[in-house]
Structures are given as structure tokens and as C-alpha cells.
Chain A
Amino acid sequence: DIQMTQSPSSLSASVGDRVTITCRASQGIRNDLGWYQQKPGKAPKRLIYAASSLQSGVPSRFSGSGSGTEFTLTISSLQPEDFATYYCLQHNSYPGTFGQGTKVEIK
């Protein structure tokens, strides 16, 4: 199975801050990676697909980059509604595997 190592596990940030979250795959996965946002009591929502493509309707302050084994989700200017937990998901090979999650909290 491909292991996805996500960091940090949590972070505290202020509104307006630039935030970066990283996922590292245990082997190359091309660009077969998505980023998801989950708020308490809600289903995950996809933000980014194919590592760097913005899902329709998602604000442009979200961006993704990377290929192979290293991937990054960046929020350019954190907004109050962005406080949530973020997960990466590799879909290069079965079984699908998620990163452990990054909880973004208010400083």
C-alpha cells in the first residue's frame, strides 16, 4: 500500500495568513492526488484534483502543487471559513490512502 505522510498534524494561524500543508507519498504517484476540506460533522469536500487543478466553485486562494512524491496545498490568505481539517488522498493505486489530516485552528 502507498503511505501518505501529511504534515503538520495541526497548525494555528490568523486570518490573512498564508498556510502550507504537505503530503509525501511513499512511492511515486504522478499527479494522482486530491485535497479535501472537512468541517466538523460534515462530509469531506474536494478542493483540488490532479494535484493542482482547482475544483469548480472553490475560491482561488486555494492552490495545489507537486508531482511524484511531494505535494503541497497552499491557502494564500486564510479566511474565517477555512478553519477545518484538510486531507490529501492518493488515487494512483488501490487501496486509496489518505494523509492523517491537518487541523487548521484559529490563533
Chain B
Amino acid sequence: QVQLVQSGAEVKKPGASVKVSCKASGYTFTSYDINWVRQATGQGLEWMGWMNPNSGNTGHAQKFQGRVTMTRNTSIRTAYMELSGLRSEDTAVYYCARGPSYDSINMDVWGQGTTVTVSS
């Protein structure tokens, strides 16, 4: 079945970087874009950006300009999201979700989430 499995929880200090992985199975990895969405505790969902695993092209929300990097390794069907310059406000659950490449944000299948805690 179609599945996205994310890496485990992370604890980071302010100013550090975190890299979250998202491993795809059950479908053709390069046929769907991967989105990243985050959710702070008790808050709503916030779209961060997308990546096309075929081309490597990416796009992101303006607020993450200069801090977010999305990459992939097609040989192991895995997408990555790296967020740098971490601050306490980045403490959240980070989700990956796939969407068709012709309509990236139209997300159907989601990963289980990765908790990132930023604390000194």
C-alpha cells in the first residue's frame, strides 16, 4: 500500500539545523511531489513547501526563505527537509505528504509525522 514513513523525533538547540527524512513505498516515487507541512502543539496546519523528486525542483512559503532546503535520493525513494537557524517557534510536528506533480499541493497520503523540539 502507499506509505510515507518519516524519521524519528529530534531535539535540537537554538541555531542548529534539523534534517527530516520521508521514505516512500507502494507507488512510483518520481510521479508525485512531496510537500512538507508542520503543526505546532495545539495549533493548525502550516504548509512549508514542495519538491518534485523527478527534477529536484522546489518551492516554499515565503516565511521559510533562506532556511528550508528540500532534497531527495531517488535510489532509496527518500525525500528530505532540512530547516536551519532553528528557534523555539520551530518546535512542531513536521509531516511529509505527497501530491500529484501536476497539482502538488493536492495532498492525499501523509507520513506519520516527526516531532522536532527546539530547546536550550
Contact = CB atoms under 8 A, between A and B. Distances in A.
Interface string B79-120: 000000000000000010101000111111011110000000
A34 interface: yes
B4 to A, nearest CB: 9
A44 B111 CA distance: 9
Interface in A66-103: 87, 89, 91, 94-101
Given A43-B95, A44-B45, A94-B59, A89 B107 contact: yes
B35 interface: yes
Contacts of A95: 47, 60-62, 105
B43 to A, nearest CB: 9
Interface string B39-65: 000001111000000000001111000
B106 A49 contact: yes
Contacts of B99: 91
A99 B46 CA distance: 10
Interface residues on chain A, size class: 20 to 34
B113 to A, nearest CB: 5
Which applies to chain B's interface (DSSP): helix, strand, loop or mixed? loop
A55 B107 CA distance: 12
B44 A91 contact: no
Contacts of B59: 94
A89 B44 CA distance: 11
Given A34-B107, A38-B45, A91-B105, 17 more contacts: A32-B103, A43-B95, A43-B110, A43-B111, A43-B112, A45-B110, A46-B107, A49-B108, A89-B45, A89-B107, A91-B99, A95-B61, A95-B105, A97-B47, A98-B45, A98-B46, A101-B45
23 contacts: A36-B45, A43-B95, A43-B113, A44-B97, A44-B110, A45-B110, A46-B107, A49-B106, A49-B108, A87-B44, A87-B45, A89-B107, A91-B99, A91-B107, A95-B47, A95-B61, A95-B105, A96-B47, A96-B105, A98-B46, A98-B47, A99-B44, A101-B45
4 tightest Cβ-Cβ pairs between the two chains A and B: A96-B105, A91-B105, A96-B47, A43-B110
